[in-house]
Amino acid sequence: MAEAKKATDWERIEADYRAGLLSVREIAATHGISHTAINKRAKAEGWDRDLSAKIKAKAEALVSKREVSAQVSTERAETDRAIIEANAEVIANVRLAHRKDIGRARTLAMNLLAELEAQTTDRELFAKVAELLSGGSDDDQIALPDKMMDLYRAVTSLPGRTKTMKDLGDTLHKLITLEREAYNIADPKKVEVTLPPSAAMPTDPIEAAKAYQELMAGNS
């Protein structure tokens, strides 16, 4: 004997319809009838669907989704910021170290220039030093070997001092370029350090020292 068909619970269907949480098709599937039948019944009896709960649920979903998106964006921004700060710190430390090293090299070059200036401006003193080193007229003095005296004369001679000045000029040229690069003053490729026409590298070390001072005044 065939099982009797279960009666449709229209009161429950109406309640589900009015609640607005389920779609008409979902209500129909739950109660085993067609969605068309429900729509006809709702229209005939004037059922109103309350969609406020469904709208609220959708709104909550949107809020949650956007909140998660905002959190992800914030975390990504914080990660990018951390990467930028870490790399900037490394670059800053390198540039500060370069500045310190360049400053030390510049100080050393200036000290060497001061020594060269002393040799050039106080010739009588170095002449006396040479006399003492060579034994002079005092029999108690011990003369230096000829090779050492030759070396001393090479260092203190006019050509020797001129070469030293030229080397110092080249060194300072490079230091000025490096210094400007380290302090981001100018494009190092465009930095040109030249002597004024009136102060072209002279052969006299005294004039060379003056030329250097003019060079530093114009490029510092």
Q: Where in the chain are the domains?
A: 10-49, 53-184
Q: Which of 29-38, 74-83, 209-218 has the highest mean pLDDT?
A: 29-38
Q: Are 99 and 182 in contact (CB under 8 A)?
A: yes
Query: What is the distance between the alpha carbons of residues 169 and 99, in angstroms, rounded to a whole number?
Result: 20
pLDDT value of position 36: 93
- For 85, the token pair is 């700060």
161, 151, 157: which is closest to 112 by C-alpha? 161
pLDDT value of position 198: 45
The more confidently predicted of residues 97 and 155 is 97
pTM: 0.39
Residue 47 C-alpha from the chain's centroid: 69
pLDDT value of position 129: 62
Counts for the chain of helices (H) and strands (E), in that order: 8, 0
One-letter amino acid for residue 43 of the chain = K
Query: What is the distance between the alpha carbons of residues 18 and 12, in angstroms, rounded to a whole number?
Result: 10
The more confidently predicted of residues 129 and 162 is 162
Flag whether pLDDT at 191 surpasses 50: no
> What average pLDDT does this structure show over 4-19?
84
> What average pLDDT does this structure show over 17-32?
87
